[in-house]
A = this chain, B = another copy of it.
Amino acid sequence: MKIYLAGPDVFLPDAVEIGRQKAAICAAHGLTGLYPLDNAIDLTAPDASRQIFAANEAMMDQADAIIANLTPFRGAGADPGTVYELGYMAGRRKFCVAYSNDGATYADRLTRFMDVTSEDGRLVDAQGLTVEDFGLVDNLMMIHALELHGCPLVTPATMPIDVWHNLAAFEACVRMAAARLIAP
């Protein structure tokens, strides 16, 4: 069984090494991890970004499942590139699993980045836009998609010191995927 390994991990300085570690954890549980950086792309090509997209989409199409890293990225919510891939895989009816190394609710987390106030019974951000306040870790579309199309979001009991390198929640996802995808 092949698992597409989605996440902003590809933007880390040691992105290749993280991919190697994730693939090794998959292998230890009888699964094959497919990591976007495994695709050999010439980054100096004029259409490099399109080649990356095409290779990622082909990799998703051949995968049986996705494990997405939804740890907040440059703000209160998950990386949109990763979320696109989660949506795509849900649309393809693949098995969807994800984790976030920050288990705070979205509404609580947003207060780290901007003023959030209460107005007529709803929470609003600094621009006056409503803040989702259902006690969920991120936008309801991702959270409930995981419940319906795979497994509920995995979060650690306490936030690890290094949210980008701690793979405990990732390994919990791999165990769940293996239990569901590998016949006993």
Contact = CB atoms under 8 A, between A and B. Distances in A.
Contacts of A52: 140
A150 to B, nearest CB: 13
How many copies of this protein are present in the complex?
2
A85 interface: yes
A169 interface: no
A18 to B, nearest CB: 12
Contacts of A81: 139-142
A48 B134 contact: yes
Interface of A: 8, 10-13, 15, 48-50, 52-54, 56-57, 73-81, 83-92, 110, 113-114, 124-125, 127-132, 134, 136, 138-145, 147-148, 164
